[in-house]
Amino acid sequence: MSFETFGQPLLTFPDAEKSPLSIRAKALVFVDPRSRQLREELEQLAPRSLSVLIRGETGTGKELLARHIHRASDRSGLFVSVNCGAISPTYADAELFGYAAGSYSGSASSRAGWFGSANGGTLYLDEIGDLPLPIQIKLLAALENHEVTRVGAPQPSPVDVRLVAATSIDLAQAVDAGKFHERLYHYLSEGHLELPALRARTGDILPLAEYFLGIYSQRLALPVPLISEAAQHVLEQHAWPGNTRELENVIHFALLVSTGDEILPEHLNLPEASAPPLHIERLVKQINIGGSAAERKALKELLIRLSEGL
């Protein structure tokens, strides 16, 4: 099936899996109207030099969006992805801004740090709210002055870095609580993107499901099954608290446990995908249908859909 949106319906970065810095960010589609609007906003922001703050729930694909911003910009440097929650509080200065030779025991050479590694490119800070406040202040200074001072260095070094940050929380509330630097928040908010949860862009669910089904079928050397209409209905009705990441896991599981040429609701292992209600089973048995097993199955699916619409 082909899904055409802005000439590039499916946004993927397969090489992202090879990066030790990368979170699981596999694919985004822009089929749903809300996704199309997001794509338009992204295309407007990408060529500009503004820092960007992406807000979205965990698992929605914020890093993938950041990678696209970098790719659509004219920056020739690297895309460097850092999880702020994994930065050591003790060595946060050195990890972000680098250190000079001899600054630490056994450090015979200097290191550029994540900021220096992204010079000429884009630095992606995932969950920026996890940065300690003192580091937030230094980050703001580096962005405003276009220079960083490595730990142990006598003078600052110029840098040209575009920052794309992401958060799954409302940073405005963190500012009010005194947990996030107000000026840094306003600096980031000049370029703001809201990545809707998967349940808010239902038009993207089935295209993503088919993409993941194709990827895992190829990886496992298995035939690509169809997603039955009943299973499609279950996928579209599920709330997806884990967003795209959860959908990927559900499709992977369904492929492994399905036995025929179709993915059925019971293969999805979702609450909505449990066995049909007893009254549906009784109706199917009561109706004297002399057709094939496929026709009886189609009748059952029709009755399920009708009962859900009552």
Task: Please give the CATH architecture assigned to the domain spanning 198-273.
Answer: Orthogonal Bundle (1.10)
- Residue found by looking up tokens 């859909």 in the block: 305
Confidence of residue 183 (pLDDT cuts 50, 70, 90): very high
Other beta carbons within 10 angstroms of residue 145's beta carbon come to 12
Q: 220 or 27: whose pLDDT is higher?
A: 220
Q: What is the CA radius of gyration of the chain?
A: 24
Q: Among the ranges 12-26, 180-194, 272-286, which has the highest mean pLDDT value?
A: 180-194
Domain boundaries, the chain: 10-196, 198-273, 275-310
CATH 3.30.360.10 fits 10-196, yes or no: no
| pLDDT of res. 156 | 84
**Three-state DSSP class for residue 189:** coil
Give the per-residue pLDDT at 112.
77
Q: What was the pLDDT predicted at 303?
A: 58
Joined together, the tokens standing for residue 126 give 């995932």
Look at 34-48, 66-80, 276-290, 292-306 and tell me which has the smallest mean pLDDT: 276-290
Q: Is the fold of 10-196 the same as that of 198-273? A: no
- What's the mean pLDDT in 280-290? 53
Cβ(197)–Cβ(56) under 8 Å?
A: yes
Half-sphere exposure of 268 (CA within 13 A, CB side): 26
Q: Is the dihedral of CA 207, 209, 212, 213 positive or negative?
A: negative
The enclosing H or E element of 20 equals none
Percentage of the residues of the chain whose pLDDT score is greater than 90:
58
